[in-house]
């Protein structure tokens, strides 16, 4: 069979890829849930492992021809176990939401009570939002933040004691502070609940030692493998215990057999064949995560985020919690007489991508909320540091204070373009 290059086989799709490459090269991605996968990760994801069906787990497959898939998946598992110092890792979840679904499937029964941060206050859809499966199949009793924007552990404890949940989640999509996993674990223990930590956003920060880890506190840990891990769009589940026979039935749900329950939940409970080409990308990302470059980049994520926050505070912007401990900033822009949608659009004009986002107790609707969410993972991955963060902070501030001033927009667009040229990404043809 004769194969054509993509540019000839499908010019329309090829052009979409070329255009997206240009957009990423020539703009600053400041959506905190986004990152840049390395060319090595992209190459692994586009490998011939996409051809192979491999239902089951290493050395326990339902198809033949698994010598290489078994080796590959074991490499990914062992790397994750080494990095996080855990007994068991499942790298088959198709993404973060399926990983969280597997936790419910493993540890809860329909109708059980669950607790997670309210979506309107920074939480994730799968932690009990009323429009999501997690609140349709389980009784969701969300917790939130106090007036200062921080998680209110007195509230969390009071709700947990009153509702006696089966499962308590820690983790969010728009929370700019470090998570107190120990406090969550203590509350879960008090009420006899399982404690799950969703570290999708902060996994790279944890690996790099700039954010505390839930290992040793959480019964089960879920994560995406993109975001600050800089891998493919997929998921992982970490836990402790023994899963030497993951497909045998288990008589009851206990902390001792969580690995077995998780593996059974993923397959055959929720998924069929794993995406081994994506697992190849996970393996590469986990190897890269053990390098000094990865650690220093994640440290710079924190430094640059704090600097941008300081610049915005100096210019009178309202930051939720008054700043940040991690990779993201949540900002209420209504004191500048604009909406989150208007702020997102204004920054798009100077080639900075952020996302409109609700703030805690937001009186505005979801498609036109009061705030924006922005972060620095992609800036640090491009090699930007403190000096660039100050420049970017000033560009953002000036643009949002002058959204209708074409001269200021043009000036800041030029500054952003110069930064993109100075700190290029994907400079070769390896990703086209």
Catalytically active residues, by annotation: 53, 55, 198, 224, 227, 233
What are 189's two structure tokens?
């223990």
Cα–Cα nearest to 376, from 325, 309, 302, 273 = 302
Residues linked to residue 28 through DSSP beta bridges, in sequence order: 352
CA–CA separation, 173 and 126 (whole Å): 11
Task: Find residue 57's DSSP bridge partners.
Answer: 60
Which 3 state secondary structure label does DSSP give 201? coil
The owner of tokens 């891998």 is 231
Neighbouring CB atoms inside 10 A of 35's CB total 24
SS3 of residue 290 by DSSP: coil
Name the nearest CA neighbour of 330 among 319, 341, 338, 344.
Answer: 319
d(CA 331, CA 374) in angstroms, rounded, equals 8
Selection from 179, 198, 191, 212 nearest residue 141 by Cα: 191
């Amino acid at each position: 069979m004769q194969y054509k290059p993509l540019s000839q086989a499908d010019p329309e799709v090829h052009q979409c890829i070329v255009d997206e490459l240009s957009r990423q090269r020539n703009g600053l991605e400041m959506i905190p849930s986004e990152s840049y996968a390395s060319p090595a990760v992209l190459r692994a994801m586009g490998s011939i492992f996409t051809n192979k069906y491999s239902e089951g787990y290493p050395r326990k497959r339902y198809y033949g021809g698994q010598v290489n898939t078994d080796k590959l998946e074991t490499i990914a598992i062992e790397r994750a176990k080494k990095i996080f110092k855990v007994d068991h890792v499942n790298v088959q979840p198709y993404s973060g939401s399926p990983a969280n679904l597997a936790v419910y499937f493993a540890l809860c029964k329909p109708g059980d009570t669950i607790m997670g941060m309210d979506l309107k206050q920074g939480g994730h859809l799968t932690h009990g939002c009323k429009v999501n499966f997690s609140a349709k199949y389980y009784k969701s009793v969300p917790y939130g933040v106090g007036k200062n924007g921080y998680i209110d552990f007195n509230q969390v404890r009071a709700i947990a004691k009153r509702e006696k949940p089966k499962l308590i989640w820690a983790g969010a999509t728009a929370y700019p502070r470090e998570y107190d996993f120990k406090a969550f674990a203590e509350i879960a223990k008090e009420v006899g609940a399982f404690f799950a930590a969703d570290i999708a956003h902060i996994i790279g920060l944890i690996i790099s030692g700039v954010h505390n880890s839930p290992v040793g506190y959480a019964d089960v840990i879920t994560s995406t493998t993109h975001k600050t891990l800089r891998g493919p769009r997929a998921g992982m589940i970490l836990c402790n215990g023994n899963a030497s026979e993951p497909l045998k039935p288990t008589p009851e749900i206990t902390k001792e057999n969580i690995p077995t329950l998780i593996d059974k939940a993923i397959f055959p409970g929720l998924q069929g064949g794993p995406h081994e080409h994506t697992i190849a990308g996970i393996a590469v990302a986990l190897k890269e995560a053990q390098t000094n470059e990865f650690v220093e980049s994640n440290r710079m994520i924190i430094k640059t985020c704090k600097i941008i926050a300081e610049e915005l505070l100096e210019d009178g912007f309202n930051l939720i919690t008054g700043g940040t401990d991690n990779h993201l900033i949540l900002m209420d822009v209504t004191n500048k007489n604009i909406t989150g949608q208007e702020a997102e659009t204004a920054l798009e004009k100077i080639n900075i991508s952020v996302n409109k986002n609700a703030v805690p107790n937001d009186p505005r609707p979801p498609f036109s909320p009061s705030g924006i969410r922005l972060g620095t993972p992609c800036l640090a991955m491009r090699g930007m540091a403190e000096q660039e963060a100050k420049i970017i902070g000033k560009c953002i501030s000036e643009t949002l204070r002058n959204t209708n001033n074409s001269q200021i927009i043009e000036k800041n667009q030029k500054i952003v373009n110069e930064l993109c040229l100075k700190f290029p990404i994907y400079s070769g043809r390896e990703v086209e």
